[in-house]
Structure 1
Amino acid sequence: MVRVRERARRVAGRIEARTPADRDRAVDGLRALALLAVPAGHWLLGGFTVGDGGALHNASPLSAFGFFAPVSWVLQMLGIFFLVGGYASVRSYERRAGGTGAWLRQRLARLGRPVLGVTAVWAVLAPVLHTLGVPSTTLRTGATLVIQPLWFVGVYTAITALTPLCVRAARRAGVWAAAPLLGAVAAVDLLRYGPWADAVPGWLGALNILPGWLFAYQLGAAWGLGRAGRRHAWGLAVGGAVLFAVLLLVFGYPASMVGVPGEARTNSHPPSLLVLALAAAQSGAAMLLRDRLGRALRRPALWAPVVVINLCAMTILCWHQTAMLAAAVPASFAGAVPGLTTAPDTLGWVAARLAWLPVLACLLALIARWARVFETPWTSRVRVPVRAAAGVAGVGFAVWALGWA
C-alpha cells in the first residue's frame, strides 16, 4: 500500500510539472465533474430485468421510487458540460492559428473518432456474442444502451459548428445572447403543454433540441470572452433556481430530469424549459465557485485525476454503458444477481447497485486503457480502406441499434 501511494504521488508530481501555468484548472475540474455524472447517472438510474431465456430488458428504479427524482437533478450536469464546452471552444477559437474551417475540422475529428470506434467495435462484437449464445433480445437491449449516449455527440457537433456565431453574439450581448434561446424553448413548451396541446404535432418538441442545448454553450461563450461577471452569475443561479421551482410546483413539469418508463412527458428528450432552468442555476453556481475550485485544484493529488478524466473524456462517454453490460450480460446467465439482473424496485436493489459501482468503474478503467486509442489522431498506418470499413461497420451498427431504440 505504501508503494502504491508513493507511485501515485510521483505520477501526480509529473502531471503537475507538465501543467502550463496558465491552465484554467477550474474549468477542467467542472468538465471532469460533468463527465463523471454521465456514467454515475446511467449506472444508478438504469437497471435490467431478466425475461424468458435469460434475456435482458431495460428497467429503471425511477418507475418504483419517485423520491429518486432529486438524484437526477444532481446527476443531470449536461448544462455544466455545455457551459465549459462553450468556454473552452471560444478560448480555443480565439487562439486558432489557421482559418475557421481548419479549426472546426480539428474539433469535429476529436468528437467523431471515438464514436466511430465504439460503433465499429460493437458491429463486430454483436455477432460474436450472438454466436456465443447471448440472446438476441439482450443484444438489442445492449445496442440501445450503447447508442443512446451518442445523441449527445451529434448535438455537440452541431453546436460546435456554431461557435463563430456564438462568439459574435456574446461580444454584442454578453450573457443576454442566451435569452432568445430560453424564450424559444419556452414558446415550444407552451405549445406542447398548453390547452391546445392535443392539436400540436408530436414532432414539434424536436424544435427544442438545438436552442435547448445551445443555451448553456452560449453562456459559456460569454464567460470565455469575459462578458459574464459575478452579478450575471448570481442572476443565473438565483433566477434559474426560482424558475425551476415555479415550473415544478406551479406548472406541473415532471420532477425527473431523465425519462421514466411509462411517463407521457420527459424533460430531456427533447429538453424542456425545466432543463434550461437547471442549466442556468448550475452555470451561475459554477461561475461563482470558479476561483475557489481553481485554488483547490492547485493540490497535485486533486489535479492529477482531473487531468486523467479530461484526457479520457470521449472514452468515458462512449464506453461506460459497455462497462455496465460487461457485468450484466455474464450475470444474466447466472440468474438473479442482486443489483445487476434483479428488478430495480426494492431498496435492496439500490444498496446492491451502490456496491456494484466500484466494480463498474474498474471495468470502465480497464476498457479505457484499450479504447482510448480512438481518441488519438489517426496516423498514416491507418489506411483509407481500414477507415472506410470501420465507418461502414459503425454506421451499420448505429442504424440497427436505432431501429430498436
Structure 2
Amino acid sequence: MFTPLQRTAERTPPGRDRHIDLLRAVAIALVVLGHWLAVVVTYGDRVGGGTVLAFVPWARPLTWLFQVMPVFFLVGGFAGAASLGSYRRRGGDAIGWFLCRTDRLLRPTTAFLLTLGGAALLAVLLGADPAIVGRGVWLACLPLWFLIAYVTVVLLTPVLLALHRRAGLAVPAAFAVMVAFGDAARLLGGPAVFGAANYLLAWAAVYQLGIAWREGALAARPRVAVPMIAGGLGVLVLLTVPGPYPVSMVADPGDRLQNTSPPTLALLALAVAQTGTALLLHERGGRMLRRTCPWTAVVAANSVIMTVFLWHMTAVVIAVPALYITGLLPQPPPGSAAWLLLRVPWLAFLTATLAVLVAMFAFVERRGGSCPAPGAGRAGAWTVVATLAGTGLVVVGLLGAALTGSEGLPTATLAVYLVCLAAYLGGAALLRAARSSHRS
C-alpha cells in the first residue's frame, strides 16, 4: 500500500537530479531554523524585540552556516534551465514556461496574503492596536523579500540562459563586478540607492551559477568544487575580518553596511563557497537518494516547500502572545545560558504551530494549477503584455507588503497593506488570464 507521496517518489523520472531537490529542502529548513533562532522577544508595557545578533556578537560568524538563501537561487537556476529546456523541446515557448513556473509560486502566496490580510483586518475590527497589527503583518511578510527577487530572475531565465550560452561563466563574473561597483559607491559614502541594483544583480549571479551547473560549465567534481570552496571562503574572510564588510551574513542593526540589504560582494563570496560544497556533495547525495525512504522524505518536503517558507514567520507572530504575553516563557538576557536553554521549548512550539499551518494550507500548493501545455502554440501579443504587466504588479504588491510596518515606514497602516494586496491580486489575476489565453 503506497501513500500518494510514495507513489510520486516511485514515478520520479530516471534523469531527474535528486540532489537538487535535497539542496532545496535543506536550504529552506536552515533558513527557517536560522530565523527562529535569531528572534529575540521582549514584553513589558508593550511587545518588542529584535535579532540576537544585536546582543550576542559571537553569533555573527554562525550566520555563515544559516545564510543559505544563495543555495535556493543556485538550485533555482539549475532547475529553471532544466525545465525551460524540457518545455521548449516539447514545443512550448518562454512565456508559457514562465506562466507554468510561477503558478506553483503564486498560488500559495495568494492564499498566504489573503489569509494574513483577513486576519489583520479582523484583529483591528476587534479592537487591536493597528500599530501592533502592522508590526505583526510586517514580521509575517519577511519571507516576501526573497520572492520578489526570485520571481524576477525566473522571468529573466530565457535571457540568462541565452547569455550563458554566449559567454559562459563570464556572465556571473560580470554581475559580480557590477555588484562590487554598487558596494564601492556605498562604502565611499554615496546614497544607499547606489546599491539598489544589487538586489537583482547579486541574486541573478547566483542563479546564473545554477544555470552554468546545469549546462555543464561547472562539473560536480572535486577539481572544481574544492577551489570554489577554498576561494570563496578565502575571499569571504578577507572581505569581512579586516573589513570593510561586516561578518554577519544577515541583517545586523549594529552594522552600517548590511550584507543582504542589498546583497554584497561578501555574500557572493559565500555563495561561491556554497556552490562548491553543493558540487562536492553531488555524487554522495545522489547515491543516498536512490533509496526509497530518504527520497520520499525529500519529495514530501518539496511538496510543501513554499507553504513552509511563507508561513514560518507567521508561527513567530502566533508564538509571541501565546508564550510571552501570557508569561509562559521568561525573558532572560539574550545569549545567556538560560536564554539558550529556552530555545528548546521556543523551537518546539514554533515547529508545532508551523505544522498546523502547513496542514491547513499545503493543499493550495499541492493541487494542480492552470498551466499552458507545451504544445499550446506561441504566446500572442495580449498574453505577453498581460504576463509582463501582471508580473510587475505582483512584484510591486509584494514589495509594498514586505515594507508595511517596517522601520522604513513607521506610520504605515493596515490600509497600506490592503492597497499592496490589491496590486498583487491584480497582477495575479492578469497572470491567471494570461495562462487561460495561452491554453486556448
TM-score tier (shorter): 0.7 to 0.9
Once residues 330 and 133 of structure 1 are traced to their aligned partners in structure 2, the CA distance between those partners, rounded to angstroms, is 18
Counterpart position of 1:363: 353
CA 103–241 in structure 1, closer or farther in 2 if over 3 Å, else same: same
Tell me if structure 2 keeps the 8 A contact 1:44–1:354: no
Once residues 22 and 247 of structure 1 are traced to their aligned partners in structure 2, the CA distance between those partners, rounded to angstroms, is 40
Tell me if structure 2 keeps the 8 A contact 1:59–1:343: no
CA 232–183 in structure 1, closer or farther in 2 if over 3 Å, else same: farther
Counterpart position of 2:58: 67
Once residues 106 and 132 of structure 1 are traced to their aligned partners in structure 2, the CA distance between those partners, rounded to angstroms, is 40
Counterpart position of 2:251: 259
Tell me if structure 2 keeps the 8 A contact 1:174–1:228: no
Tell me if structure 2 keeps the 8 A contact 1:57–1:138: no
Tell me if structure 1 keeps the 8 A contact 2:70–2:203: yes
Compute the displacement of 1:315 (Å).
Answer: 0.6
The answer as to 2:318 corresponding to 1:326 is yes
Question: What letter matches 1:265 in structure 2?
Answer: L
Counterpart position of 2:342: 352
CA 137–348 in structure 1, closer or farther in 2 if over 3 Å, else same: farther
Once residues 213 and 156 of structure 2 are traced to their aligned partners in structure 1, the CA distance between those partners, rounded to angstroms, is 16
Counterpart position of 1:313: 305
Please list every run of 5 or more consecutive structure 2 residues that lacks an aligned counterpart in the other structure.
371-392, 407-440
Compute the displacement of 1:364 (Å).
Answer: 1.0
Choose which of 130, 133, 144 in structure 2 pairs with 1:139: 133
Once residues 277 and 18 of structure 1 are traced to their aligned partners in structure 2, the CA distance between those partners, rounded to angstroms, is 38
Tell me if structure 1 keeps the 8 A contact 2:148–2:398: no
Higher relative contact order (CA 8 A, sep 6+): 1
Tell me if structure 1 keeps the 8 A contact 2:78–2:210: yes
Counterpart position of 1:402: 403
Q: How do 1:128-277 and structure 2 match up within 5 A?
A: 128-132=122-126, 134-193=128-187, 197-198=188-189, 200-229=190-219, 230=221, 231-277=223-269
Tell me if structure 2 keeps the 8 A contact 1:232–1:284: yes
> Between the two proteins, what is the percent identity of the paired residues?
35
Counterpart position of 1:289: 281
CA 100–157 in structure 1, closer or farther in 2 if over 3 Å, else same: same
Question: What letter matches 2:359 in structure 1?
Answer: R
Once residues 281 and 401 of structure 1 are traced to their aligned partners in structure 2, the CA distance between those partners, rounded to angstroms, is 29
- Once the two structures are superposed, what CA deviation does each residue of 1:198-256 show, in whole Å capped at 9, x if it has no partner? 3x122112121111111110000011112212344333222211110110123232111
State the TM-score, normalizing by the size of structure 2: 0.79
CA 308–13 in structure 1, closer or farther in 2 if over 3 Å, else same: closer
Tell me if structure 2 keeps the 8 A contact 1:113–1:374: yes
- Once the two structures are superposed, what CA deviation does each residue of 1:342-391 show, in whole Å capped at 9, x if it has no partner? 66353322221133213312221211112123323557xxxxxxxxxxxx
Tell me which moved more, 328-337 or 156-165: 328-337
CA 144–220 in structure 1, closer or farther in 2 if over 3 Å, else same: same
SS at match of 1:59: strand
Once residues 404 and 244 of structure 2 are traced to their aligned partners in structure 1, the CA distance between those partners, rounded to angstroms, is 32
Please list every run of 5 or more consecutive structure 1 residues that lacks an aligned counterpart in the other structure.
1-6, 380-391
- Once the two structures are superposed, what CA deviation does each residue of 1:331-350 show, in whole Å capped at 9, x if it has no partner? 24313613xx6663533222
Once residues 19 and 159 of structure 1 are traced to their aligned partners in structure 2, the CA distance between those partners, rounded to angstroms, is 27
SS at match of 1:95: helix
Tell me if structure 2 keeps the 8 A contact 1:28–1:310: yes
Once residues 271 and 59 of structure 1 are traced to their aligned partners in structure 2, the CA distance between those partners, rounded to angstroms, is 21
Tell me if structure 1 keeps the 8 A contact 2:53–2:59: yes
Compute the displacement of 1:33 (Å).
Answer: 0.6
Once residues 299 and 398 of structure 2 are traced to their aligned partners in structure 1, the CA distance between those partners, rounded to angstroms, is 32
SS at match of 1:148: coil
Tell me if structure 2 keeps the 8 A contact 1:60–1:260: yes
Tell me if structure 2 keeps the 8 A contact 1:57–1:141: no
The answer as to 2:47 corresponding to 1:56 is yes
Aligned Cα root-mean-square deviation (Å):
2.5
Tell me which moved more, 29-38 or 222-231: 222-231
Aligned length: 377
Tell me if structure 1 keeps the 8 A contact 2:104–2:369: no
Tell me if structure 2 keeps the 8 A contact 1:170–1:227: no
Compute the displacement of 1:73 (Å).
Answer: 0.8
Question: What letter matches 2:214 in structure 1?
Answer: G
State the TM-score, normalizing by the size of structure 1: 0.86
CA 401–172 in structure 1, closer or farther in 2 if over 3 Å, else same: closer
CA 135–301 in structure 1, closer or farther in 2 if over 3 Å, else same: farther
CA 81–397 in structure 1, closer or farther in 2 if over 3 Å, else same: closer
